[in-house]
Amino acid sequence: MKRVTFLTIGVLLAVATVVSIAHAETWQELLAQADSLRTAGQYDTALALAQQAFEITERDFGKADTATGNALAAMGNLNCDLGQYAVAESLETRALSIRETVLGPNHPSVANSLNILGVVNMRTANWVAADSFLTRAMRIRIQCFGENDLSVAASLNNLAVMYYYQRKLSEAGATMERALAIQEKVLGKDDIRVAQTLNNLAFTYRDLGHLDQAEPFAQRALAIRESVLPPGHATLGESFLCMARMRDDQGKYEEALYFEKRALAVYEAAFGGLHPLVASTHGMLGAVYARLGRFAQAQAEYEKALEIREQTLGPNHRETLEVLSNLAATYNEQARYAEGEALLNRVLAAVEANSGAESLDMTAPLENLAVTYVMEGRYAEAEQAVRRALAIFEKQLGSEEPLQFAVDLSNLSQICVVQGRLVEAQSLLERALAIQERALGLQHPDVANTLSYLANVCMVQGDNGRADSLFRLSLSITQTALGSDSPDYGRLLWWLGNFYDREGKFREADPLLRQGLDVCRAAFGPQHPKVAEAFNRLALHECAQEHFAEAETAEAEAWRIRCQLFRDVVPAMAERQALQSSQLLNDETASYLSMLLASPDSVHGNSDTIALVVFATKGRIADGIMARNRALDLTDDNKAIAFADSLSDARFALSRLYANGPGEDSVSAYQASCKWPLRRKTVLKLSWLVAVPVSPETGSCGT
């Protein structure tokens, strides 16, 4: 799931509570109220006031007056906030023309219009135009105010944000350092406005993979704000979110949640429930809950974010579509692939309508759709989606290869691996690695990640010497950049352990696999899919050494976690979704049964254990559910619908019995407890067949 970082454009950050609209007598008052409403996130109301101001100025002063230009500039800024970039550019271009004609080409107001045009072009990824506008704005400010003016620092910050979103992170960091130097010289080191640049620097160094440098900036920004601002002030929320992101990267997810909840509290108190910052924070909470495997909570947070985005920005705004993509990823993690795919296709259609079929904005939804296809095993469609994204990058950027291009190359390589195209996969990974090393340096976590994938490909091809060195290099970079308690470090410990298992180096593999399990449990908690995966790997390690008792114990723990996860999520699912989710449990059950059958002397007694496992994973949904739904679509008979609902209840009760297993009861007692719901299901099915005759189009009702 895609992570998004929000850098503030412009250094000065104004914060206001929800604005009540007073009666405005003049166009100046209308624009002042519009500015306050904009700060509070009430964009539509603010735009209406700016429109009123424009009508007054055009009527009273004419189309070419600077007052009219000011109103046009305000309308342009608000349309930019609302994602109406073409409208914003048109309005701001008119404002610029008025200001240049009346005030001259080097007036500070001209710089302000150029600045907004730069932001508009930045948000549409028109980097050449954005650079031109922002650079010209900065030159005017230097000419008017000198190199050490705060307005120059604001221009530097905007240029730095542009570099950041182009993933020119080194340039972004250096430009922010220039802005910071000006601010500290003019304002001192502890001014509240300095904190904003410190926060942006923290995000930039974080993305450069330098968490050790990023965190002091974030902590200093938070300390300044807490010393200057009253408790609960909304500006503190930005620092809370910055700290949350640092903790998220370190795999300290509970601490990340703590900071995100503090941010949400101050934003809701300051702005109410429908502010963009409230939506962003709900989205960040959703991402951390998803990483913790708490998908119901993740879904709830994303749905709150979506509701706010749709109400404030509309259904097709870029940030609304981003939330939809994250919600789709959450569905996919729950094996709700059809729902996830439907959302991503909606995103793709909206982006195409907004920006065109070959816009760079198309690449992210195509990448997300490819991930969905991979999870479903639809590799040909996944490859098609990734190659389409790569083609867009190549057409729009030519020889320039951004970091996201490297991500797509890596994704394509994984598809090639699954299909056995190992030489092609290795070539793609080496190309991706070269792009990342140029952009990020040799010690970045993303570089380590690509090295680990390359090591796997080398291992499968039998190049064990190179695989070993690449695994160890990847592990070293990750430990330095993220720490030895990072989940990414734990994953690499598993991979290196598996590599040694393949070579028969069990003594070397054992501590790596156990340490990886410990890291995973500490990061995610005991009931997480990744913890189950770690136990799976440990079980295979023990089985390979014919340590069957230890293997069975590890596999039993993995199976227990999967059963618990299934029981936690299935009550909230529709039957079809539960059927999809049950396949994950069935896969785990097959692994457990294989382990039991491999053991010559199961520690629990093979027959009883196998019976328990089979019963406890019998929670499949009836095969006829789709026929039932299709038949119901063809009838308005309330009696038939009632029968079908009762049948669903009986099936669900039986499924829960199967999923929970016999517990402490004997197998025979457990079988007896299943008889009543089984008999009830049979009686209802007979009634159902009478109530809703089956047509040739709907087929059999199934069992």
pLDDT score of 433 more than 90: yes
Structure tokens at 152: 């120059």
pLDDT band of residue 595 (cuts 50, 70, 90) is: low
**CA-angle at 515, arms to 512 and 520, nearest 5°:** 120
Confidence at residue 473, expressed as pLDDT on a 0 to 100 scale: 95
Which of 525, 558, 579 terminates a domain? The answer is 525
Task: Determine contact, residues 634/695, Cβ cutoff 8 Å.
Answer: yes
Structure tokens at 597: 């059958």
What's the number of domains the chain is made of? 3
> Span 576-600, mean pLDDT?
62
119 is a domain residue: no
Structure tokens at 279: 């939506």
36 is a domain residue: no
Confidence at residue 450, expressed as pLDDT on a 0 to 100 scale: 94
301 is a domain residue: no
Structure tokens at 666: 């004997």
Complete DSSP assignment for 286-311: HHHHHHTT-HHHHHHHHHHHHHHHHH
Query: Residue 604, Cβ neighbours under 10 Å: how many?
Result: 15
Asked if residue 545 and residue 499 are part of one domain, the reply reads: no
Asked if residue 570 and residue 666 are part of one domain, the reply reads: no
Which of 465, 494, 525 terminates a domain? The answer is 525
Asked if residue 440 and residue 487 are part of one domain, the reply reads: yes
Give the type of residue at 612.
L
pLDDT digits (tens, 9 = 90+) for 72-99: 999 998 888 777 888 999 999 999 999 9
3-state secondary structure 153-212: HHHHHHHHHHHHHCCCHHHHHHHHHHHHHHHHHHHCCCCHHHHHHHHHHHHHHHHCCCHH
What percent of the chain stands above pLDDT 70? 76
Q: Which long-range contacts (CB under 8 A, 24 or more apart) does 184-188 make?
A: 185/148, 186/148, 186/149, 186/150, 186/153, 187/150
pLDDT digits (tens, 9 = 90+) for 348-378: 999 888 888 888 888 888 988 998 898 888 8
CA distance 98 to 119: 19
Listed residue (629, 525, 524, 523) closest to 575, CA to CA = 629
**Structural domain boundaries enclosing 503:** 401-525
Asked if residue 639 and residue 614 are part of one domain, the reply reads: no
CA distance 576 to 571: 12
The runs of H, that is alpha helices, within 525-637 are 529-544, 548-569, 575-598, 606-616, 625-633
- Among 41-50, 249-258, 268-277, 603-612, the range scoring the smallest mean pLDDT is 603-612
Cβ contacts of 178 within 8 Å, gap of 6 or more: 153, 156
**Cα Rg of the chain, angstroms:** 29
In angstroms, the Cα distances linking 298 to 33, 209, 284, 304 are 36, 26, 9, 10
Asked if residue 569 and residue 505 are part of one domain, the reply reads: no
674 is a domain residue: yes
CA 144 remoteness from chain centre: 43
> Span 55-75, mean pLDDT?
91
Confidence at residue 103, expressed as pLDDT on a 0 to 100 scale: 93
Structure tokens at 59: 């009527």
- Among 226-240, 329-343, 552-566, 632-646, the range scoring the smallest mean pLDDT is 632-646
Asked if residue 634 and residue 606 are part of one domain, the reply reads: no
200 is a domain residue: no
pLDDT score of 696 more than 50: no
pLDDT score of 35 more than 80: yes
Asked if residue 513 and residue 587 are part of one domain, the reply reads: no
pLDDT band of residue 217 (cuts 50, 70, 90) is: very high
Residues in the chain: 703
pLDDT digits (tens, 9 = 90+) for 443-469: 888 899 999 999 999 999 999 999 999
Cβ contacts of 498 within 8 Å, gap of 6 or more: 509, 513, 537, 541
Q: Give the end-to-end CA distance of the chain in Å, rounded to a whole number.
A: 38
Confidence at residue 170, expressed as pLDDT on a 0 to 100 scale: 85
pLDDT band of residue 693 (cuts 50, 70, 90) is: very low
Which of 492, 525, 558 terminates a domain? The answer is 525
DSSP state of 571: G
Asked if residue 650 and residue 585 are part of one domain, the reply reads: no
Average pLDDT, the chain: 80
CA distance 135 to 23: 39
Burial profile 298-321: b = 16 or more Cβ within 10 angstroms, e = fewer: bbbbbebbbbbbbebbeebbbbbb
> Span 117-122, mean pLDDT?
90
pLDDT digits (tens, 9 = 90+) for 142-192: 999 999 999 999 999 999 989 988 878 888 999 999 999 999 999 999 888
pLDDT digits (tens, 9 = 90+) for 474-506: 999 999 888 888 888 999 998 999 999 989 999
pLDDT band of residue 694 (cuts 50, 70, 90) is: very low
Asked if residue 571 and residue 457 are part of one domain, the reply reads: no
Asked if residue 501 and residue 407 are part of one domain, the reply reads: yes
Q: Which H or E run includes 75? A: helix 66-81
pLDDT score of 48 more than 70: yes
Asked if residue 656 and residue 578 are part of one domain, the reply reads: no
56 is a domain residue: no
In angstroms, the Cα distances linking 642 to 184, 646, 647, 678 are 72, 6, 9, 18
330 is a domain residue: no
Asked if residue 647 and residue 690 are part of one domain, the reply reads: yes
486 is a domain residue: yes
pLDDT band of residue 432 (cuts 50, 70, 90) is: very high
> Residue 519 belongs to a domain with what CATH number?
1.25.40.10
